[in-house]
Amino acid sequence: MYEPRPVPWSQVQSWTCDACGECCKWFSVPLSTYEHANIGQTYGFDMVEVSDGRSWLRKSIDNRCVFMILHDGRWLCGLQGEKPYVCRIWPFRVADNPLYGRGLRARYENEEWAGYVYLDPRCPEIVYGEPTPHFTHNVIREFVELVLGKTEHQSYSTAHLPPSHLRRFPMHLQTLGDHYSLQDLQLL
């Protein structure tokens, strides 16, 4: 699969997750050992798969993550409070060293950290241009803190969801390959 070159943060005006769900369809989600065990124990080990010595979230029949919930035209994550690390940080890539060239444009510094921040241009919610103060001081800062392990809380780095969605999937409704509405999940 063609992978376009990530874009330095300084070329992005803003970014907001709109819950389009495309990232949850395009990519396979690798899991850490902890994530595999936690998701398997909580939701059943049929929700994860192991191949080539790695663990992944299982895909449904339409190639979306099995935890995606369609609600009002938006694809919401059923693992909201337990999202795997790669899901929490996508479409951002944060590193101590320049990874994709253009290091001067990717350089990001605050009082606690200095490094390089890029965005995956496949995300349809990227708005290119001069970075806004909100993007620079809130959005990027939160992604950096997520990567550095300083926070797990997501305010600017995820879609804003109705409070009723923040609860877990009821165990009795989990069937591999099916997508449930919020009404089916008794979350309305």
Residue 64 in any domain: the answer is yes
Which residue is associated with the tokens 């663990």?
Answer: 55
pLDDT at res. 76:
84
Residue 104 in any domain: the answer is yes
Count of domains observed in the chain:
1
**pTM for the predicted model, two decimal places:** 0.80
Residue 184 in any domain: the answer is no
Query: E-assigned strands of the chain?
Result: 7-8, 12-15, 30-31, 48-51, 54-57, 68-71, 74-77, 92-95, 107-109, 114-119, 126-128
Point out which residues pair with 119 in neighbouring strands: 7, 92
pLDDT tens digits, one per residue of 125-162: 999 999 999 999 999 999 999 999 998 888 888 887 65
pLDDT at res. 42:
92
Residue 183 in any domain: the answer is no
pLDDT at res. 54:
93
In the predicted model, residues of the chain with pLDDT beneath 70 are: 1-2, 161-188
For 169, the domain range is 7-173
Backbone torsions φ then ψ of 11, nearest 5 degrees: -100, 5
Q: d(Cα 20, Cα 76) in Å, to the nearest integer?
A: 8
Q: How would you label 38-56 residue by residue, b for 16+ Cβ within 10 Å and e otherwise? A: ebeeebeeebbbeeeeebb
Residue 181 in any domain: the answer is no
pLDDT at res. 166:
45
pLDDT at res. 163:
56
Residue 186 in any domain: the answer is no
